[in-house]
Structures are given as C-alpha cells and as structure tokens.
Structure 1
C-alpha cells in the first residue's frame, strides 16, 4: 500500500539524555496583537557539562525576527522544528524575538484566542509555539513575564505574583509577574481578557492569607461560586490529609470555552475548560457539581504533585497524573460518598482502560516509546496509574504511605524526577520491599486472575487458589508475575462475615488457606477492586444474591449486581446463537426488585446498581463479541426487569421524586429510565418531570429516559429543551450528547443537520466531543452499524479535524481503532476507513501514531 505521509520518528525512554544546556532564568515580554503578537524571550543559558555541542532549541510556527547573544546580533540556523546556535560560551544571555499568530492558532496549543481572550496551553509541547526554548520538562527556570495589551483586555495574568502594572501610551497597559519557583515551560500560562471576577481568600494552616480569584466570561459570575467553594475545600483537605500548604500569595482560575483538555495546573494560574467551573442548580446536574469539585481539587493538588516536583521526561507522566488522580479520588471520597466515588473510578478502568489495554495503543503506565506525546494522556497513564498508587497505599497503609510522601517531597522538592524516585521514597520510608511491585510501571496489559476454591469439611479449611497471567503480544518480552494486593471477604450462607483480609499475591499461582471455618463459604473477591485485573470465578446465582444483599463492602454489592446482570445477558446471547427464545431467571428480577424496594440501601448506591452495565462494559468481559446478539440480549434483560418491576418502580419513584437531595434524584432518575422501558412507557410521567423540573438533574433525567426508551415524546422534549437553553453552550453540550445517543437508523442524518446548528462549532472541542465524540463512543448500535455508515461518517469528521485540531481528532478516533473484538465484516469496514486516513497527504503525527498502530503498519 502506498503512503503519502512521512513516518514520524519515535522517541524512546531508553534514549533519554540530560539537557546539554540549562536555562535557570527566563524573561518573557508579550506585545499582544491578535494576528501578530511579538514575543521577546531573554534566557540565561548555562552549558551543562563538559562538551562543545551547539545549542538546539524547539520551535514550531514561529517567525524569528532577531537573535542576540549578550546583546549582540548572532547568526542562527533555522531547521524544521528547531533553532540551532553554534557557540563556545559556557554562560551567556540569549534574546530571541519572534512573531506568532494567536488568532489563527486552531490547534489550541501554545498561545491562542478563545472568544476574544488570549490564553495558553503548553502541556505537553505547546510552549515551542510561543518561542524557541527547551520544550522538555527537565529544564526548570524562574520566570519573569511582562504582558502588554490594549486596555480593553482588562486582566493581564501570568504565573506567580504580580509585581508591577500600569498604563502605556495609545490606550495600552501592562502587567509584570514573577514566579519565585523554578518550573518547566509546560507550566507557563498567560491570560488576557475582559472577564467577570469572583474573589475570596484562604488562610493557610501557618496563618498566611492567600488571595483566591476565579475569572469567568461576562454574565457567568453567579455560576462561579461552587468552583470557589471547591477550591477552598481542596486547600483545607490537602493541609489536613497530606500536610501540604499553598505557597504563593495568589491562586487564580480562568475558565475558557475553547480548550482541548479539562483543565491545566499551571503554577498559580490554572486554566480550565468552562465545563469544570461554571455551575448553578438550574443549568448544571449533580454530576456536574461533583465533576467540578473533583477537577478543581485535581488541579490544585498538582501544586505539589506536578509543580513543586515535576516529571524528568514525558514518559514519567504518571508520576504526576496517576498520583494526583489518586489524590483527587481520595478528596472526593473523604468529602462525599466513598463507595459511589470508588464505583465511578472502577467503571473508568473496566470500560475504558481495559479496552485501551486490549487495543492497538496498549502501553504501560510508564510508556517506553511514543511518536506524539499528546496521545499518551490516557486512561492508562492517569487512571490505571492512580490504581497503582492505590495499591501502594493498600500495601503500606495510610501511615506508611504518608511517610513515603513526606520523604518524596524532602528529597525532590524543586526537581524533575522519575516514577522510580517516587517508588524508592515509598520503599525507604516504609521498609516495604517494592522491587516486584515496580513491574506495574513497565508491563502493559491487563492481568487475568483465575480463581478456584475448595472447602474441606473434615478440617474446616477453605482453600483459595489464584493464578495470574498477563497476555503477551508479538514483540513483547515475557510478562512476569505482578505483586497484586487481593482483597477477600468470606461470608457464610446467611451472609455473615467470617474473614476479611488483603492477600499478598506475588506468584504465578498461589494457594491461600483459611482455617477454622464451620461450613462452605461464599467469597467476595477483589473487594473494592483492590487491583486493576480481570477476575474469573464461576459464581453461582445463589452466591451473587448473597453478596448483593450482605457483602460488607457496598462496592462489592454493586459488583455482584454487575456480575448477575452480565450473566443474564450472556446466557441470552448464547440462546440467540442457538436460535432459542430468550429467558430471564426470576431470581435475577427479584434481586433488582429488592434494590428498588430496599429501605436500608443508600440511594446513590441503589442508583448505581440500577444503571445497568453498558454495552461497552459487557464487551470488555469477552475476547470476541457477537455485537448484534449482545445488543438484543441486553435490551431484553433490561426490558424484562423494567416490566416485571414496573409497579414497585413507580411507587418508589413517586416517593423519591419529592426528595430534594442528590442521592434521591439519582435513584429517581434510574427508576425513570426503567419506567420508560416498561410495558406502559409512562410518557406522561416523563413529560411531567420535565415540565416541573426546577433543576438540571431532573430535567436531564426526563430527557435521558425519553432518549433511552425511544419514547414518543422524545423529540418534543428535546425541542423544548433547545428553546430554553440554546444560548447556554455548556447546557447545549448536554443536548448535543442526547441527540448523538438516539438509537435509530436516521441518527446520521440528524447528526449532519446538527453540525449546522447555530450552537455548534467544529472549532470548539466541547461541541465536537459532545455531539460527534459521544456518537462514536456511546451510540454503539448505530456507530457499529453493519453497513459501515457510522464508520464512514466518523472518518469524514476525523479528516476534517486533522487539518484544524489534530489533538481532538486523535481523542475521538479511539472507537475506530479498537476493533479487535468485532466480527470480521465490521473489522474489514473499519480497516478500510483507517487506510483512507493513513493515505491523507498531511496526516498529523497525532493520528498517524494511532492509525498506523491499529493497522500494524
């Protein structure tokens, strides 16, 4: 096959070399003009070691106007992607003046414009679009920044503390900022615009007063209060749980609508996607409020785990992200519902990360090789990385883990370090040998743990045999046994707990004995998902019913419900393949009826149990899937439960609907989905909840139920929602997502029409993700249509984004490349689409890496 793209070179962890030069100080001056911003960068450069190599700096899409060394003009060589300076000086001052075009920067990397305001995104390698520099995380500098702009840009912001400001001629003004802490260039930030400002303060444990500022688009100030409250809650929690105090005089958050990521932890000046800042009860759901609190916390926690101690190289990304995801999960669990937060984290691993491990982009949490670093901001690095940190916490305990954190900061504050440095601090502080545990950082793939058990009535001994193996791919080294903390609870037939402990599972096969048991037991295995592994154990329905009702861990109860539902679905897939009628065991129906009727079960947990496992969840339970049979069987099981439990669900719904708390709303909405799928359909109930809703959770709950049930009132409710919210972008994102999820053959025509909607923009990542990303990732029935129309539709979208925002294109292409479990016909259709992309004459590095790996080119 011919290729019209030059194969980009890979970067390898094994090739890491320290920088040839260091830049301990950098002074930046910006003269902001939309299409011709002038950037003056003055660096103090120092040769690192005994060598005479030239200075080579990174740079992209820069117009170099001048270069000086120690104030004198100097000749430089401009090469693709870099600037080279021949010099024998060991220390010197380098001044570079460049011109850039923020207004024309559709990639949203470097300095760009969002709704008329200037903002930056430099992680991972965006700083090279601002000026020539060492765009790598192990070059740490103290930054001084001067920003000049017309006075219509009221606020001129950067990292650190403001040291000067004033007016200039011709209606311009300036502001100067200094950051006292050395940082890598990926943490640099600049914002200039006229925004609304919410101010507050926080007194630290040592008595320092920190100014807090949240900047939002004009007219949205009333939606910033939850973000401010979340920030103060996060600051207090980090002091209380980790003993970490904020270190600058000011902490700023700026919300922008055009943003490739969720948020960015730039030192003292966090830039956020509006999705994770703006919220009020009328326009945001309970999940939105929780998401804002979590992400605000995440970026704040980065101040120490990412800013004060950063990554030596990008292969160490999980050093900061896995650790900080763990910290934000613990924050959410400490201030909210620990079981529900744990369930949400488990769903991400089982639905998304397991799929990534099984797909062409499989990689360890510390990758060995990359083409485009943006592609490795993944659920593996972030969420599996957090699970690895959580396992360390399990092995060391809270006291041992906190001792390790303290030693980590004592050793490495102000440094760029590696994952090994972190694990070593944990090992040295606790005395726990983590040599084998380190394999989690270097081995890709999801371990499979197979479990057998037996009970000896004569001796009262219960034996649990665990076997582990991690699938090996072509070209990979043999996978070695991992250190797996395996949590187990043993229950008797009445549900009484007999034992509860964490097993140190370190061999390919191990048998653990539990003595003194009077009868056979029911095992609750891998409780709270104590390790990110696939579990295989042949539970009986009777065992699952006992676990759903009695396991001491609420997470284990939910997990038992997932297994019970999944078994019912797969049994019916088998029946369809044998051309038999589908059936559902009444015990399964009774188990979910019990959840609906339970007076003791936490409402939020009940809601999670009634949110039946998605098609994606079910697909991750098998190596090959008959997708058409799976879709049919899942619908049958849900509809059968909904119809059989209709009376109980309706009665419970009427009680819960009147209760004004998040857990009750979640429970009521889960019941409403079942009611919409029952024999009656309950159209009037959907319309009533929508019409009477005084909060977004209730309104969206009615809409979601109408979409899920393909109710006759669906389009009328969608139209009414659009009329109410068409001027509010974040709410329209919810509407776009619902439209993308409609499971009818005509959905592609609907999507094409919606791309012309006044509220939609292909240039805005939030809009693209909500409409097009949701379709590919969530509307599995229509995306995976047997005729390939869904694949061709998304391929055309990817082609369009390749030229404007390849980072977003690479994010939403994932469903196109994870085809290994599908039937041969669908795989062939997907490969045809990917070959089209590979032959594009200007295929981006972001897409090339994913497409070529999927096709194994």
Structure 2
C-alpha cells in the first residue's frame, strides 16, 4: 500500500462552487454485505464502476477513517503497490472503461460518537450518511451526483438484532447457524450514497397500510422500542395524511412497496429522508399528552411530512452538489409548511414560520456567518445546514408561487418533476422550470439565490388631498455581508392594501413588484389619507420600515383582514413602545394595553391567533431592532411592559384562564387554541405581581392533564423565586427522570428562564448526573436553550460565554457537528457593547487555540472572527 498523504499539516481545504467538475467515475450498481456487530462490523462492498467522459484519471473512492482489509478489481486481489490512500481516499489507477471493484473494511460502531456513518444508539445499529457519512462506512465516490442502485445484505445475531432494515423493498431473509440470521433489501431507484440507510436492533412496529391513488398498497411501519409503541399513533396519522396530501396537491405518488420509519435516541438532526427508510430523532416521532406539548405534536406532524415529501423533492430528484442543498431543503420546507397550514390554522402557521425565520435566519443574515441561499464556498458542508438554506430557501419558493399563482405554480412543479426525475439537479434547474411552466422571466429573481443579507424596504405613504391620490414610495437596500460588499436591487413581491380609516375597508389586495432601488406607486380615489397594510401574509422575507403612526398600527391591529398583517401591526405597536422606552423616550403604554384588550376580547378571533398577537416580542427580536444590543435594558423594559399589561388587565387574565380550562385533552384546533391562550393569560397574570399568581400557576401545573399546560406553568414559575418554583421543578424531575425526551424539557426550562441565577444554575446543571455530552438532544436542551436566552447568556460577567465555550471545546472531541452549532451566538459579538464584545471574541479565540479542532468548529469560529 502506498500512502500519498502529505506529512505536513495542510490548511483546511476550501470547497468552491466554481470548481465543480462532473464525477470521473460513475457507479451504476453497488452491493453491500454487512456482518453487523457493535464492536466490530465488517463491510464488503462490490462496485460496478464506469469511466465518465474521455478523461484518464484514476478511480478515487472517498473514505474517512477506513482501513482496507482487501481490495479487488475484476475478481483479482490487488497487491499493496497497486492502490494508495490519499487523505483517507482509496486511489486505484484503472485502465479502460468499466470494472468491478471490491473492498472489505472493519468498523467499530459503538465507538462512533460523531453519529455519522454507522453507529450504535441505545442497543441499535443505525446510520446517518448526509452529508458525508457514507465514506465512514465504505470506500465510495461520496458526492450527491453519483447515483447508484443498491442491493444490501445484512447478517447479525438474531437475539440482539432481530430486525434488519435497509432502503427499498425486502427481497429475502433467513436463519443461519449459531443463532444468526440475514436479510436482503433492494432499492430499484438510483440514489446518491447520502440516502443510504441501515438499522438493526430489537424494535417493535406500529404497522399500517396506505393505498395510493393508482391502487398500489404500501406497507407502513414505524419502528421503536417496544415501550414506546403507544406513543407512535400521531406520527402514523401524520405519515398517512402527508401521503394523501402530496397526491392531492402535487400529484406525487409513493413508489415502493414499503415505507419505514425508525426512531433513535442519539441523532444530530431532526430526521433523515433516506429512500424508503427514514431515520428520526425520537423527539419527532414519540408523542402522547403526558409527555408532549402541542408544539411537540406539531413538530412530529411537520417533520414526518417533511421527510416523506423528500421522496420526490430530494430523493427522486436530488441535488447535483452540496451548494444546491436548498434545491431539496427549501422546496421541501415550503411543502411541509403548506401541509401543516392545511392541517391546522393557516394564519397561525404563517405567524409561527415567520417568527422562526426572524429569530434564526435574520440573525444569520446580519452576522459573520451570512451566506447566500446557494453558497459559493465552504470548508465543512455540515455547517451549511442553516436557516438560510432551509427557511429562507422556503421563502424563495413561496415568492415564486405567489408570483405565478396556484395553477401556473402547479404546472411548473409538474414540469420540474417530469424534467428532472432520476437526476441530480441544480437550483437553476428549478428556477428554469418555474419560468418555462409559468411563462415568467425570473432573471432578476435569481439574485435571491446569489446575494446574502435581508433586504430592507422603506415604505413612505404620501397623500394628496386635492388630487385625491395616495403615493407609495418604496426604497430597497440590501446590506453588505461577508464577501459581498455591494448588492444589486432585488425583485421583491409585496402584497399591499390601502384601508379607508372611516369605513375600515379596502378595495382589494394588490401585488406590487419592487424591482428598482426606488419606485413610486400611485393610487387614486382617496379623499382621506389611507392606512397602509404592507407585506401582507409576509409576501417577501424583508424588513419593512414605514411612516405609519401608532394610531395607524392600532387601527390595523383591530381591523386588518389579513391575519399576518393584523398580527404584525400589533407586534410593531409593542416594538415601538419597547424600543422607545429603552431609548428613554416618552411612550404610550396605554395604546398597547388597549390594543391587547380589544384583541383578547374579540369573539370572532381564533384563540390561537389571539395568543400569538398579544404575546410580547422576544428579547432577541428587540435586540435586532437596535444598533447596539443592550440585554439589561431590553430585559428591564420588556418586564416592565409585561407587568403593566398584567396589572391593567388582571381581571381579564383571570377570566380567560378560568374560562379556557379544558375538561379533557383533545388535539382539535379549538382545544389547542384554548390551551395556548390560557397559558398566555397565566403568564400575564403572574407578571402582574398578583399575590396569588404563583399559587395559580402551581395549581395549573398540578392539575394539568397534558404537557402543554404543565410545562407552560413550570416555565412561568421558573422565572420567579417562589417556593412553588422549587417544588414544581422537583416534582417534574421525579416524575420524568426516566423519560429522556421529557427530561430534556426540565433542562431546557431552567436554561431559558428569566431567573437572576440562571447562569449559575446552568453551570450546576452541566454537572448534573443526568446531563451528558454524548446525546445531542440533551446538549441542545441545556446549552442550546441557554445560548438563546439573551439576558442570561449575555450576563455582563461573561460567565455565560465561558460556559458555552467550555461546552464547545469538550463537545468538539465527541461530536463536532453538534459543537459547531453552538458557535454562532458567540459570533454575534459585533452587535454588543465593547465589554461584552471583547469577552465573546476572547472565547472564540480560545476555542481556535485548541489542538486538533474539527473543521466544523474551526470554520464557524474562524469566520465569526473575520
């Protein structure tokens, strides 16, 4: 064997989109034979390789930490001088056009703490191959544009691993001597290796069936630990609902005889869409009223749908290279958002999606890690599984759907699926299908894929009483981002309506296309100044600044017939008061109280919408409105307004809290809305300072027949310092100490609490016997939540920064992907005062001095300091 790796440490390799080159070799067929064991698994891979094009380059098969036990070509074992390892990859100089290459390697799944490749989780063996995990299983050209048909044989101890699952359909199984057994699976559809999946273990199955629109019967299975079987009913319903929805809305039918889902406890992501065998983080499968909140139920429904929808938007059509990741993720997020909107409240779903976008993606767009929806370069691809790729990518699809209209958008997606089925495609391929199918020119719109940053739109409405006209002047700017100092004007679709303040009516919704740096639109027939409702439905992912008065916002919060615009007006009313208060300006809190009273007492409104509209903007969102974030001032102002609202409307909160108590648990929209509103009312009641507030909260905690009300009461108590707080935390812990997913809520609630000692409490919880760095869910529940707690994380002592940095350093040696996801909060140092900024920079610099730091963390920390 030759080793052609450099003996000197090389700088981390930067992968650039402009350097894309088609694969030198294709692999039409692959056969994998696994001898499974947690301590030592042997993998025999047989690849049919075909030279691609007229080049004469050698065969290069990616590998990560693999030691070849045997290498064969066309049945002949190669000598050590006939192949080489280069950076982990197996390199073989091959003559001619086609060969059969065989390799044998040995793996240790139980020692794989990175949770990429083949690893052990709670007695199971399972895989995660996206983005580059397959190279940790066997040698292969690990890139998404190499599509292969897979045949997989597994052999294992039958008592320990009675269930053997892989992609595709089962084609054989049997017993072997010595208490062992085997199973063979075949996937007839060519797929990239990142979609390969395998699971072995002692699992029980919630089995069901679905009949497709063409009459094909599909066997459905959700595989979990036997004790968890009763908690899978909601996930199965979500799966069947999503299969029917995809047929009805997109005409997409499932294409295999079986569809399996497996829930595992240790998982870096939410779930993985492997063809025919989805592997899920158990938090997105297991749900019952005792342990799951309404938000958890919604999460299960949405993620099950997301991964199923990938069967067409991701699997049947995959991405050519990882720069095109949003091709599958942005489109599929849009699809799962639309599905969830159809399953519940469309208005509330849109509000929730925008809130997530603003909290995660807008912050990303305004910081050192900003990148386009289609990035130009990366060091570690796992760092680009971001809100920009997913959530902003979904907004791009939503804008195109809006511009085309329902019929033309459906025609365009049909064309996309027909044109690229079985291919590795690009974002450009999708946009071109929208153009060809919808008969539109999207040349300027492509800038959304190319330019990072959140556009800002300044909207000024001027009224000419003599002419009876209103002129709307729109100006757009796209701020500079790393590597992109100058931006071109974007194509921004803005839905607007002009309200007559006397009648409270408007003449209809209009879609304005802002395509220049500055444009003016004139409207006639307005004797009185109209009230502007803009970006209705959040038609574009932009920040709108306008000259609307507090009176205009109060009017819209009471009269706007677009639910999102009505919510937005209420939120802006609150933001104006809070930002003014932080800046020491005179503010009218009474206007906010009056608007909340009006909304909360409107019998025509959905309680779930009311709950969303009357909740105060988060401290992090308020920070985004400031040039320099002042966590202490923001917290003080928000707490003061919250108390004012609580005090002024205390009788209302008592009435709502008492009147929305449910007699029995239900997942009906009415019941979910009542719980959401009841929890908001409890929060305001306790915030009022009412003497019996903690007692009422503890009563809800004690009497609740569901986790939604129980956790909300616990979170409300966790913000204070009453005896009820400690009692509730102890009760919750003792009740759920043996349920990992629910115990995550216990950690999360304390890490996210507005308690004066949160920093110290997090430090103590880090040493708790139930905390572990080896489970990503537990890490996210403590440190992920804490980093999102603006007031506590940015404690002026800097102890919060040190806690998170210590976690990143320790975790990087175990699971670099999860560690890297904790870096971005430290990377926002430019937004804070000099003292905090210096401490955040110091922690990033300390992280970068760690020896053997992963590429994942190196890239995130390094870019955060640039």
> What interval of TM-score do these two structures reach, taking the shorter chain for normalisation?
over 0.9
Matches within 5 A, 1:345-384: 345-384=353-392
Distance, in Å, in 2 between the alignment partners of 1:809 and 1:816 is 12
Which range moved further: 162-171 or 675-684? 675-684
Question: C-alpha separation between the residues in 1 aligned to 2:484 and 2:563?
Answer: 38
CA change 1:266–1:141 in 2 (3 A) is same
Q: Give a deviation string over 1:32-91, Cα, whole Å, max 9, x none.
A: 121211001100000001121111111011121000000101221012221110111310
Q: Aligned residue pairs: how many? A: 847
Deviation of the 1:359 alpha carbon: 0.9
Corresponding residue for residue 771 of structure 2: 760
Match of 2:49 among 18, 25, 45: 45
Pairwise mapping of residues 550-589 of structure 1 onto structure 2 (< 5 A)? 550-575=559-584, 584-589=588-593
CA distance 1:835–1:477, shift in 2 (3 Å): closer
**Partners of 2:255 and 2:88 in 1: how far apart?**
36
Distance between the aligned counterparts of 1:492 and 1:5, measured in 2? 69
Q: TM-score, normalised by structure 2?
A: 0.96
Correspondence for 1:612 among 610, 616, 624: 616
Aligned residues of 1:610 and 1:671 also touching (Cα < 8 A): no
Partner residue in 2 for 1:646 = 650
Q: 746-755 or 312-321, which moves further after superposition?
A: 746-755
Is 1:540 equivalent to 2:544 in the alignment? no
Q: Distance in 1 between matches of 2:590 and 2:66?
A: 68
Paired with 1:235 and 1:318, the residues of 2 have a C-alpha distance of 22
CA distance in 2, matches of 1:698, 1:187: 39
DSSP 3-state at the match of 1:182: strand
- The aligned counterpart of 2:719 is 708
Structure 2 counterpart of 1:207, from 197, 215, 222:
215
Q: Which residue of 1 aligns with 2:860?
A: 850
Note the 1:658-807 alignment, pairs <5 A.
658=662, 661-681=671-691, 682-777=693-788, 779-807=789-817
CA–CA distance in structure 1, aligned partners of residues 843 and 314 of structure 2: 39
Q: Which residue of 1 aligns with 2:463?
A: 455
Q: Aligned partners of 2:169, 2:251: CA distance in 1, in Å?
A: 23
| Alpha-carbon distance change, 442 to 831 in structure 1, aligned in 2, over 3 angstroms | same
Determine if contact 1:161/1:249 at 8 Å carries over to the other structure: yes
Cα shift at 1:780: 1.5
The alpha carbon displacement at 1:745 in A equals 4.3
The CA distance in 2 between the partners of 1:97 and 1:234, in whole Å, is: 40
Q: Distance in 2 between matches of 1:732 and 1:474?
A: 40
Higher RCO (Cα < 8 Å, 6 or more apart): 1
Aligned mates of 1:130, 1:36 — CA distance in 2: 12
What TM-score do the two structures reach when normalised by structure 1? 0.97
Question: Given that residues 5 and 840 in structure 1 are in contact (C-alpha distance below 8 angstroms), is that contact kept between their aligned partners in structure 2?
Answer: no
The farther-off stretch of 384-393 and 84-93 is 84-93
Matched, 1:125 2:132: yes
- The 3-state SS of whatever aligns with 1:365 is coil
Write the mapping of 1:482-497 to structure 2, written as runs, cut at 5 A.
482-494=490-502, 495-497=504-506
C-alpha displacement of 1:498: 3.0
Distance 1:352 1:703 in 2: 25
- 1:514 alignment counterpart: 523
Maintained 8 Å contact 1:673/1:708? no
Q: Give the counterpart of 1:87 among 82, 90, 94.
A: 94
Could you say which residue in structure 1 is the equivalent of 2:5? none
Distance of 1:291 and 1:475 partners within structure 2: 35
Per the alignment, residue 479 of structure 1 pairs with 487
CA-CA distance at 1:590 after TM superposition: 1.1
Q: Deviations over 1:310-341 (max 9, x none)?
A: 00000000000000000000000111100111
Residue of 220, 224, 237 corresponding to 1:216: 224
Tell me the residue number matched to 2:263: 255
Give 2:169's match in structure 1, choosing from 157, 161, 166.
161
Which of 308, 331, 346 pairs up with 1:338?
346
- Cα RMSD after superposing both structures: 1.4
Contact 2:35–2:154 under 8 Å retained in 1: yes
SS at match of 2:181: strand
CA distance in structure 1 between the partners assigned to 2:42 and 2:427 by the alignment: 38
Once the two structures are TM-superposed, the CA of residue 176 in structure 1 deviates from its matched residue by 0.2
Show the counterpart of 2:631: 627
Please give the alpha-carbon distance, in whole angstroms, between the structure 2 residues aligned to 1:188 and 1:265. 10
Partner of 1:102: 109
